[in-house]
Amino acid sequence: MTLSPGHDTIVREALLGLQFRDAVDGRVVAEGLQVEIEDLWQPRRRQALMANRSGVFALHRFAGQRGFGDDDIDSPQVANRFRVTARDTLGRYVATSVSPPVPGDGLFAPRAAGSPPGLTRHVPLFSAATRPVPVAMASLRAELRECGHDDRPVRWARLELWLGSERLAEGLADDAGRVMLVFPLPRPRAPVLRASPAAAGTYFDWSVTLRAFSQAGLPTDPIPDLEDLFAQPEVGLLQGASPPVPLAPLTLHAGETLIAASPPSSFLYVAE
């Protein structure tokens, strides 16, 4: 077959495509990300992935596999053989690891990882404790420790912040147990009839509930798979470690970072 210039094109199909998005606002993130794929069957085989103009990190060739067409792919689709790790060199996001099948079918998306409305087929990135809080956004900070042990961080826990039946935010702790949730402020509370002007400030206070999901023994390295982190069971958060007292609802104030801790400690303890 002869190709006609200007009329015929060669379509090069990628073996894998991943697009990373900010879990707070859904925007595509490519700048500052170091993305690497590793063959777990042959751990020395690693390859950096580069983003295209659409912010998609694509894999075209890797370890004897080719991506020029279905007939040219040397291996069938295999699950849990390949691991992709994304690290943010700008300190905005917690490091993330996923295990996509290669070759893939379109953009990869981990199961159970919630997506912002209208956005699908992406890998979410969760805020790191070193992320600057965007203007007009609220935030919660905590350092997670095992109950009564200030030297034992609770790594990779998933946290959710709730206002009644509405989930305001979710996020992940890093390998040191540090977590930050970033989220839009809720709507002002409805004013109370016949309330004095002095009470107007209370319209911007909200009673919120923090929930945690964690599993003991997760490693510092390698980074656990994102799907495994979303499968962690719920655990208790403690307002007091000795004796253990469940964490009470917290008060969110507009314009202030909410610090979750188990006084008098600066840490937030997680029940065993």
* Ranges of residues in the chain whose predicted pLDDT is under 50: 1, 67-73, 114-119
What pLDDT score was predicted for residue 4? 56
Structure tokens at 16: 């894998």
**Measured between alpha carbons, how far is residue 21 from residues 32, 125, 127, 181 in Å?**
13, 6, 11, 16
Q: How far apart are CA 250 and CA 161, in angstroms?
A: 10
Q: pLDDT tens digits, residue range 183-224?
A: 999 888 666 555 555 555 567 899 999 999 999 888 888 899
What pLDDT score was predicted for residue 119? 46
Neighbours of 240 (CB within 10 A): 16
pTM of the prediction? 0.84
Q: Are strands 166-172 and 258-259 parallel, antiparallel or unpaired?
A: unpaired
Burial 197-235 (b: 16+ CB within 10 A, else e): eeeeeeebebebbbbbbbbeebeeeebbbbeebbebeeb
Contacts of 9 (CB under 8 A, 6+ apart): none
- Alpha-carbon dihedral angle through residues 173, 175, 177, 183, given to the nearest 10 degrees: -20
Classify 164 in phi/psi space as left (phi over 0), alpha (psi -120 to 50) or beta. Answer: left
- Residues 211, 160: contact at Cβ < 8 Å? yes
Question: Can you spell out the DSSP letters for 72-118?
Answer: G-SS--BSSSEEEEEEETTS-B--EEE---BS-SSB---TT----TT
What pLDDT score was predicted for residue 1? 46
